[in-house]
Chains A and B, each alone.
Chain A
């Protein structure tokens, strides 16, 4: 069989795992990972919390794709804006969409569109110095309410609760910390719809909270101890109870379980946030807050260039990995906003197996990268370009930081193209 040409749109973990799986079976195929950013790795760089370098370590694997396995990186090219998807499909035998889902799912209650209601995904991007959030200056005030009980909610809670000294060995920047800590928070509420025993966050994430120096925890709506048969649930409840015992700090953190948002109204002294009980008891919870952070999942961003529904044949299986002949999808773009990095690795491997099985019956022979318009290939950032940005970020890292991310795309491109000045300037 002739070696196919493969374009993967999105160089986050799903795209990288897919490239990895295809390369194992197709040593000679031309495989290129496209990204709208000049930098690779998507969610690993911009979604994983900046104080979780261990999780970001997966990048060590992905670097091999480019450094050893002859997979191309084509950054700074947005499919759907710079090149229509159809043009890409004309050029490549196989196109795989792995663009993820990065829009914050909004609260579906009256008043949810107010100015100081912020999405957790957007906040996480800010905390990771994403260029799209350069102008984002959230005003959290003294009291904020985080809605949601997943790991994203806990990430945001932890990042907001840490003092500057607790960010050692992270890649957070002083600029971002300055924006967040401009007015120090005094009280963070976190409210989940499920009762505590069904809360989605991992026990490990709760245990990490116990080390927060500024925090003083108040855990409400906990069931009586004892009688829990499920070991994992018992461990989670115990981790919550343990939080009650720690903390002498000046920042109050209150957990509330079993409350569903009902309405958000503006009063003179801030928002009145009203919740109703999910246990059918007709009781309600009222919180006063300066701001609200929604961490209730992700959805298609309204300005996305393509959505899954628009691409698949009518009547096609909504869970299918194949959208049209030669067009596939993987990761959150395919599956919706659920599952961790390992689960999406498994999905990428399954999609790769499907592509490998179907390729034998495809008419292969499209030229690949060589057929892309020169205007595009001239502006793209390749892997060597990214390594220049990477080196500049690592060189600029102050004490206690792994890197200092560049948050301006123009600055990134300047470093990429600044080939006459020797080492990149920090």
Chain B
């Protein structure tokens, strides 16, 4: 089993969180991080676990780097019923579209039959908390569900 963290980002904050996740996993798991923009969903194997780390932009839209993967999922409709995944969103509760980006992505995976194995985590930019800290607390619940 490999844990693949995919980040969708515009400012790089989600990439930083993905780096933290890989670092935290590295001693116990085979783990890696990729930009969603550079990832082909066909590269995933049935036993792998996907962690989605995704921000929200504009009026609750996906960040730029997540768009190609989302489009691929919609147009190719891959069969993902064996896939396990979990989602961590970055957003700002200041806006009503808080965290919508990560939800768009998660809902698409669910629609393709994938199984969500942990409660969705999220970081609120208005909270003053460090995104990495919040993500690592969430990661513990993900790992315990494996």
Contacts and interface: CB of A to CB of B under 8 A. Distances in A.
Nearest to A402: B128
B130 interface: yes
14 contacts: A17-B12, A53-B125, A53-B126, A54-B125, A57-B13, A57-B125, A57-B131, A58-B11, A58-B12, A58-B13, A60-B131, A60-B132, A204-B59, A345-B12
B67 interface: no
A203 B59 contact: yes
A112 to B, nearest CB: 34
Interface in B46-100: 57-59, 63-64, 92, 94-97
Secondary structure dominating the interface of A: helix
B111 interface: no
B17 to A, nearest CB: 10
Contacts of B10: 341-342, 345
Given A57-B13, A61-B16, A207-B96, 12 more contacts: A54-B126, A57-B131, A60-B13, A60-B16, A61-B11, A64-B16, A202-B58, A204-B95, A208-B95, A341-B10, A341-B11, A345-B11
Interface string A60-97: 11001000000000000000000000000000000000
Interface of A: 17, 20, 53-55, 57-58, 60-61, 64, 169, 202-204, 207-208, 235, 341-342, 345, 402
Interface in B18-68: 57-59, 63-64
Contacts of A55: 125
A208 to B, nearest CB: 8
Contacts of A342: 10-11, 57, 63-64
Given A20-B12, A341-B11, A345-B11, A169 B126 contact: yes
Contacts of B131: 57, 60
A341 B132 CA distance: 21
A58 B96 CA distance: 20
B59 A235 contact: yes
Contacts of B126: 53-54, 169
A156 B95 CA distance: 19
Given A61-B12, A345-B12, A54 B58 contact: no
A208 B94 CA distance: 9
Contacts of B128: 53, 402
Interface string B119-141: 00000011010111000000000
The 9 closest A-B pairs by CB, nearest first: A54-B125, A342-B10, A54-B92, A57-B125, A61-B16, A58-B11, A61-B12, A342-B11, A54-B126
A208 B63 CA distance: 20
Nearest to B60: A204
Contacts of B125: 53-55, 57
Contacts of A54: 92, 94, 125-126
A61 B13 contact: yes
Given A54-B92, A169-B126, A204 B11 contact: no
Contacts of B13: 57-58, 60-61
A263 B115 CA distance: 64
A204 B96 CA distance: 10
B100 to A, nearest CB: 12
Nearest to A211: B94
B16 to A, nearest CB: 5
Contacts of A17: 12
Contacts of A58: 11-13
A304 B87 CA distance: 47
A207 B96 CA distance: 10
A230 to B, nearest CB: 13
A235 to B, nearest CB: 6
Contacts of A402: 128
A204 B131 CA distance: 23
A402 B64 CA distance: 30
A54 B93 CA distance: 9
A53 B92 CA distance: 9
A204 B128 CA distance: 21
Contacts of B92: 54
A157 to B, nearest CB: 17
A341 B57 CA distance: 12
Contacts of A202: 58
Given A54-B92, A54-B94, A204 B58 contact: yes
A55 B10 CA distance: 12
A61 B132 CA distance: 10
Contacts of B58: 202-204
